[in-house]
Chains A and B, each alone.
Chain A
């Protein structure tokens, strides 16, 4: 089950998008997410679609891989769509039976909302597909650096993130091992209702936590032994430098946001309510 989740995974490929500075990708993703809420018309959706498809094309991440990332959120999507479909009352009534009423406005809102959510997920997962976890934490650290002045431990938070990322596969493997060991001793994780199943997880969680703490202790010692003393006086093996293409990317994104904002709001294609 854990292996199905592609959100947050890195897809290795050689593309311009992969080579961009992580800061550019973080800021652009944020701008893109905001831009999705700046328009209410079909023209805006058209521009957003063209932009997203172009970026996916350039990034060389296969479309099927991206779609797979949507699987875990299908339920959430369905709920949103259904709520919008049945609870919005505006425009002509398209369908009416018993207490269920579907209006034109409801249908439009539901479709728009679904598209918006899907774009939101694809947009943000495209960032993680094209950025290694390390670049990501470096990017976050660099972007949040100004917060250091108000005593936010930015470096420490970034370090914690990258250590967490390093230990996820190790702990997964360990969980698997503990699970097998418990099964070998007759533990049953499959049957029973949800409460019984949750209870049967305890013999997995306890040893997992114990071992995680032990690992944390060892790792802290190893880090100290290698002279780790926080972010001060530390140099970087891979410092971030903006290159020509990074500025181009910034400009492109800003132009896109402006276009979506202006065209999506004021162009006469604005036919539906919303």
Chain B
């Protein structure tokens, strides 16, 4: 079944000059078609201003399309009647960990979503405990979020989304403001959630290393989807990626350079181990 599907999605916003007069329309997203199946891990890549975050906000119906349609779990996001259903089926984790935690205690923040959904009290406690356990933050349940590290805050934010039992989790650059350690923590958590809860994950990022395990990658540039395919397909087109101001994983880059120098190395090397293997078998 299709979890998220768009058809010729367009999003325009008014461009204003310094006095606030409208000077024209700007297309943040231009005729984008994407298709995400249930249980998939999808990555959306793009440089700053490529429209990837705008697209993410459509999945949660924070923004609605100017033209075209977007379906989430079979529901049209432009339909105001479906708004809360859409938001419940697609949870969203944002970039800044500080600005998305509402509660003054970890467990209360995780309970915020279920409270809004009108879940009975006993079940809220159950859900809070389950989701804190699934992100490995259960021992911090009585702590103040202010005393946590960036990675921990982001895991609490993920738990807050998980507690709403969405079918799909959209992560909008969840690691952009974290240190390498926090980044690892968050990615591990996402990985674990995919295995345990079988949720669909849509990860928006510009870190290539985070997407090598994805089922499918969309690359966006200037509001268009310019590349789509499996990580292996995408990363075998190193030069094209570079033209969209994206880096490739180090292993892929090295493999590509070696190939250009005449070594017999296959396309689409993603991980260091793979490269080591290939290099060892060369002689």
- Show the binding face of A for B, using Cβ within 8 Å: 132-134, 162-163, 165-166, 169-170, 215, 218-219, 221-229, 233-239
Contact = CB atoms under 8 A, between A and B. Distances in A.
B84 A218 contact: no
A132 B143 CA distance: 12
Contacts of B101: 166
B115 to A, nearest CB: 6
Interface residues of B, dominant DSSP: helix
Contacts of B108: 134, 237-238
A208 to B, nearest CB: 15
Interface in B88-143: 88, 91-92, 94, 96, 98-105, 107-108, 111-121, 124-125, 128
Contact of A227 (B98, B113, B125): B113
A238 B142 CA distance: 13
A48 B272 CA distance: 75
A235 B121 contact: yes
B31 to A, nearest CB: 25
Interface in B224-276: none
Instruction: For chain B, give the interface size range.
Output: 35 or more
Point out which of A166, A218, A223 has the most chain B C-beta atoms below 10 A from its C-beta: A166
B116 A237 contact: no
- A interface majority secondary structure: helix
Nearest to A218: B99
Contact of B164 (A133, A134, A223, A226): A226
A218 B104 CA distance: 17
A263 B62 CA distance: 63
The 5 closest A-B pairs by CB, nearest first: A222-B100, A237-B111, A218-B99, A227-B116, A226-B113
Interface of B: 60, 62, 84, 87-88, 91-92, 94, 96, 98-105, 107-108, 111-121, 124-125, 128, 145-146, 160-161, 164
Contacts of A225: 60, 62, 87, 91-92, 94
A215 B99 CA distance: 6
Contact of B102 (A219, A234, A235, A238): A219
Given A225-B91, A226-B112, A226-B161, A170 B98 contact: yes
Contacts of A239: 121
B94 A234 contact: no
Contact of A229 (B84, B120, B125, B160): B84
A223 B98 CA distance: 13
7 contacts: A134-B105, A165-B104, A215-B98, A221-B94, A226-B113, A233-B118, A237-B111
A134 B115 contact: no
Contacts of B114: 235, 237
A237 B121 contact: yes
A225 B105 CA distance: 20
A162 B104 contact: yes
Q: Which of A132, A221, A222, A228 has the most CB of B within 10 A?
A: A222
A222 B94 contact: yes
Most chain B beta-carbon contacts within 10 A, residue among A226, A229, A239: A226
Nearest to B90: A225
B116 A234 contact: yes
Contacts of A166: 101-104, 145
B62 to A, nearest CB: 6
Contacts of A237: 107-108, 111, 114-115, 121, 124-125, 128
Given A170-B146, A235-B121, A229 B100 contact: no
A222 B96 CA distance: 10
B117 A227 contact: yes
A128 B217 CA distance: 52
B146 A169 contact: yes
A228 B117 CA distance: 8
A238 B99 CA distance: 23
